[in-house]
Structure 1
Amino acid sequence: MVQLIGDAAWAAAGRPDPGVTITAANVRIGRGAMEADLEALSVPRARLIDKGFLQASLRGTLEFTIPGFAQFVRDLGQD
């Protein structure tokens, strides 16, 4: 989680060169952007769970319920 906030803060600061200081304001903007991204995913996530394609396994993780579908998705990323 800290790494995600750090990356979002770095992006909010305009991805500065090494040695440039990132401010607390950049961190607040980055955290807000990250939370907005998570909220945008909640509806599609809920729909996929409702349809039975996914199930919540551990806190913050999902798993596919259709046999072979995880491998299918991994293979799509190889193209």
Structure 2
Amino acid sequence: MTVERYAFTDCAATTAAGVTLRIPAGVHHFERRSLVFRVRLGGRELDLTLAEWERLLDAGCVGPVVAAADPPGTGETHPG
């Protein structure tokens, strides 16, 4: 299982258990499990179905984290 980070906009989502909730805007950890996609929001973990994950992607609620480079010469990158 690979843990990745995705940028979310403020959006509503339905968990695999059928509970509707709000995912706040920001960068959140994401892990693909065998049957669900797990999103970590602080101390909480939310399991989303594949259909719900695809709906969020299609709606533009989720996107890749864009790294912003520091000025030339520093060699560092930071999440944007």
Greater helix share, structure number: 1
Between 1 and 2, higher relative CO (CA 8 Å, sep ≥ 6) is seen in: 2
Same fold (TM > 0.5): no
- What's the TM-score, normalizing by structure 1? 0.25
- What's the TM-score, normalizing by structure 2? 0.24
Pick the structure with greater CA Rg.
1
